[in-house]
A and B are shown apart, each in its own frame.
Chain A
């Protein structure tokens, strides 16, 4: 139903405009005086509705998704195992990785058996979705708090591994690391299968196996 048109009868005072304009001017004057006084107060955050950005930064959430970093473990070893899952899931395809086996004489530098011999993130393409962080099996890649990413040149927006690790160091020093978001599956040599884990796993496997023939049967029926 259409909204009924309300014919407003204006009083003479309203039709002369001038009085109404004066009322409006009183209102804007109040705003002006308030902000004018506020701008003389010391301190960066004077006008309550405005953040004066470079001096006055707002608190960002600890789980903010900003510039990436490559984490190290307690012994200072790189956690990344070069599995390439982050590169695979990245919707913007901005991660490029070269995987390599850890050389015998550099075992103390890397946590896993393999590592990424080159790791590059193109921040110009990144959409900061955080999928890479979510998918990483070793919590190696983490999105940090940095958001001032403007550069003068395109090349400046590439992040190589050294820079990513540097980001991690800086974040650790300033205490801005977020807690690990999931338990790390430690790649232990498979000696004895855990009884509980096995019990949980088996039905799932069975279910999958059962589902397959059913699907095939269903497909047959439709044809």
Chain B
């Protein structure tokens, strides 16, 4: 097989897989929310309501696509695409498994192992804000623009602690490549703990997960679409499949962020204390590593849902205060301690 064919298959595969997860997530979110709130949730379409996302999709497709009169037409249609695209693209560097041997050829389970994968992820993370601000601006609606502005302020201030938390990770592993970071998390650390990022960077993990919630615009940081304050923020004027793309992009974003959390802090595809490669065949090892990875990812996806229905929304100034007055100093301290520890141990 040619290399480009393998790459194409990997791209298509991970694309479809992430889409599938996002689709299932819409169902998980609604059922999970209802269970937490003592309701039942959508349970009519298919077994356990599993076909509900399909029904939603059909509904969104058949709805009238309204573009407001005074909206900037081109930007208006560009907004959702700008939002969804970076979310998908970030998956290009996520190692979703170790490697699989097919027909004597070793295939790395990652679309591309670029050596600055880390920077690529951070860069794409800040791209997502364009989708929101462009959509909010083009809608010609004050609530939309407010949502867009909030999102900009929030993303910019949370991008800093996110980057600083990740910087500490690169200090420890000494590489920008996500695959190498994942590989380095095998084995144990200090004899007891699994060699995972969370045990080396507990503060960094907390910082990262908090900023991840802010980056994904999820409760408690869902200010850009705060329903009780600004209707539904940047996508107030959107309907039909454009809205669908926004909602979908959000879930793809969640999936990407969960994958990053797992890659950086939860040992990617490694199981604690067990070396799967030692006793599994080359093909089954590839599949097992893939499954372990997505098992961990699904836990964090569920955590997003769980937190969403537990914590109320922060006030705008509280979000900003938390970002600038707590997270950034903590991230700097974390970076300093990490650097010091590395300097002392080497």
Contacts and interface: CB of A to CB of B under 8 A. Distances in A.
A24 to B, nearest CB: 5
B35 A25 contact: no
Interface in A15-42: 18, 21, 24-25, 27-29, 31-32, 35-36, 39
Interface string B37-53: 11110010000000000
A206 interface: no
Given A18-B206, A36-B35, A28 B309 contact: yes
Contacts of B206: 18
A52 B40 contact: yes
A180 interface: no
Contacts of B34: 35
Contacts, number: 42
A47 B307 contact: no
A47 B310 contact: no
B59 to A, nearest CB: 19
Interface in B25-73: 32, 34-40, 43
Interface residues of A, number: 16
B39 A24 contact: no
For the complex, would chain A's binding face be called helix, strand, loop or mixed by DSSP majority?
A: helix
Contacts of A75: none
A28 B310 contact: yes
Interface residues of B, number: 15
A39 B35 contact: yes
A49 interface: yes
A78 B47 CA distance: 49
A50 interface: yes
Given A39-B40, A47-B40, A50-B40, A21 B32 contact: no
Contacts of B309: 28
Nearest to B220: A21
A188 B245 CA distance: 76
B311 A21 contact: yes
Interface string B284-326: 0000000000000000000000110111000000000000000
A21 B37 CA distance: 17
A49 B39 contact: yes
B306 A31 contact: no
A24 B40 contact: no
A28 B34 CA distance: 11
A89 to B, nearest CB: 42
A31 B39 contact: no
Interface string A107-133: 000000000000000000000000000
A84 B32 CA distance: 56
B39 A21 contact: no
A24 B32 CA distance: 16
Contacts of A18: 206
Given A18-B206, A50-B40, A52-B40, A35 B35 contact: yes
B311 A35 contact: no
Given A35-B35, A36-B35, A29 B306 contact: yes
A47 B39 contact: yes
A209 to B, nearest CB: 65
Contact of B310 (A21, A36, A49, A50): A21
Contacts of A36: 35
6 contacts: A24-B310, A28-B36, A32-B35, A32-B306, A49-B39, A52-B40
Interface of B: 32, 34-40, 43, 206, 306-307, 309-311
Given A21-B310, A32-B32, A32-B35, 14 more contacts: A21-B311, A24-B310, A24-B311, A25-B307, A28-B306, A29-B306, A31-B37, A32-B306, A35-B38, A36-B35, A39-B40, A47-B38, A47-B40, A49-B38
